[in-house]
Amino acid sequence: MRVVIVGASGNVGSAVLRRLHTASESRAAGDALQIVGVSRRAPDPTVAPYAGVAWVEIDIARSGTETALAEVFAGADAVIHLAWALQPNHDEAAMRATNVGGTARVLAAVAAASVPHVVVASSVGAYSFGPKRRRIDESWPTGGIATAHYSRYKAANERALDRFEAEMPGVVVTRVRPGLVFQADAGAEQAALFLGRLIPVGILRVWRPRVLPFPSQGIFQAVHADDLADAFWRIVERRAAGAFNIAAEPVLDPALIARTIGAKRWVPVRARAARLLVELTWRLRLQATDAGWVDIGTQVPVMSTARARDLLGWVPEISATAALAEVVDAIAHRTRGAGSPPLEA
């Protein structure tokens, strides 16, 4: 089996590589698993999990890369598309070139190379406004949250996948919609992407805030990168089609988030006030998170993962609280994933 991973050196990509290496070790000698990694900047091929991977450097944000991608995809049994840009979020044109344009180029190359299966990382952020107190399945509308660029781009890619499925009925198309994805190796990367370099996160090593101000609607789901990677492998192995919600338990509400990060209590604040504060500090470039993330956290629905559990036999091994605690500790220590340019940020 030959599997090509686009965006293989990032947060999710590194975990998918670990899972594929484990799968390869358990396969029969005559049924080797060939892993190809596509990345804008190749990682160190001597460092696990990047060793044993054939690396190709392609920037999917650049127009005209479809031909190069198709050459890499030729003969693949599956393509897993994970590449995504979260920064520079002050330059939406640059992000759109990777996040929407890049996905279009990947799909065009899949069609040109006659790849039988494409698996695309979507997100809970693709969903339209929905309930927090009951679970929604994969049929919930994927219109996104209009005020969040991340959500708009995920929704745009869902429409691109709709068109691709209609035009390429012979290709199995799978959409994976996870909650927030955490792992220790991404600590430095996520600190840089979401907090910026002016916030002194190192203080979290010795001190945790006693009070967490947080909107009461800020209820969301999370999954450890390794558990998400296991879902990707199960999808590829079974050639499973359709959409899959992926998240661990429990659902993270503000009180639980406060306890998990070490705060003594949670103080409710209005979502509008939180949004205004985030927007102001982002515009002043005091921190790196734009206000759209507040809208995502307070407006996207809570997902049911029954389909993944029933059809894939997927059961997460790490709780959402453990995954959150792991990444908070990693952010405090600026933990870096050795060998990968994105994770060494």
Each residue's pLDDT tens digit, 256-278? 999 999 999 999 999 999 999 99
Domain membership of residue 204 (yes or no) is: no
DSSP H/E element including 322: helix 320-332
In degrees and rounded to multiples of 5, residue 302 shows phi and psi of -90, 130
The answer to whether the beta carbons of residues 103 and 120 sit under 8 Å apart is yes
- DSSP-based three-state secondary structure for 303: strand
Q: For tokens 């890049």, name the residue.
A: 102
Domain membership of residue 64 (yes or no) is: yes
Q: What is the pLDDT of residue 137?
A: 98
Domain membership of residue 235 (yes or no) is: yes
- Per-residue pLDDT of the chain in tens (345 residues, 90 and over written 9): 999 999 999 999 999 999 999 999 887 666 789 999 999 999 999 999 999 999 999 999 999 999 999 999 999 999 999 999 999 999 999 999 999 999 999 999 999 999 999 999 999 999 999 999 999 999 999 999 999 999 999 999 999 999 999 999 999 999 999 999 999 998 888 887 787 766 677 777 767 888 999 999 999 999 999 999 999 999 999 999 999 999 999 999 999 999 999 999 999 999 999 999 999 999 999 999 999 999 999 999 999 999 999 999 999 999 999 999 999 999 888 887 878 888 876
Percent of the chain, pLDDT > 70?
Answer: 98
User: pTM of the entire structure?
Assistant: 0.95
For residue 72, give both structure tokens: 């890499």
Domain membership of residue 291 (yes or no) is: no
Domain membership of residue 109 (yes or no) is: yes
Count CB atoms within 10 A of the CB of residue 23. Answer: 18
Q: Work out the burial of residue 112: count CB atoms within 10 Å of its CB; fewer than 13 is exposed, 13-18 middle, 19 or more buried.
A: middle
pLDDT 10s digits, 140-162: 999 999 999 999 999 999 999 99
For residue 42, give both structure tokens: 């190749």
Sorted by sequence, the CB contacts under 8 Å of residue 89 that are 6+ apart come out as: 95, 149, 282, 288, 290
CATH number of the domain encompassing residue 36: 3.40.50.720
CA–CA gap between residue 93 and residue 110 (Å, rounded): 24
Order of strands, sheet of 34-39, starting from the edge strand that comes earlier in the sequence: 54-57, 34-39, 2-6, 78-81, 117-121, 172-178, 242-246
Domain membership of residue 170 (yes or no) is: yes
Sorted by sequence, the CB contacts under 8 Å of residue 185 that are 6+ apart come out as: 11, 14, 225, 330, 335, 336, 337, 343
Q: Where are the alpha helices (DSSP H) in 181-313?
A: 187-194, 225-238, 254-261, 271-283, 292-299, 306-312
DSSP states of 46-94: TSTTTTT-EEEE--TTSTTTHHHHHHHHTT-SEEEE-------TT-HHH
CA–CA gap between residue 72 and residue 83 (Å, rounded): 15
Domain that holds residue 121: 2-180+223-247+302-316
Could you give the number of structural domains in the chain?
1
Domain membership of residue 128 (yes or no) is: yes
Domain membership of residue 341 (yes or no) is: no
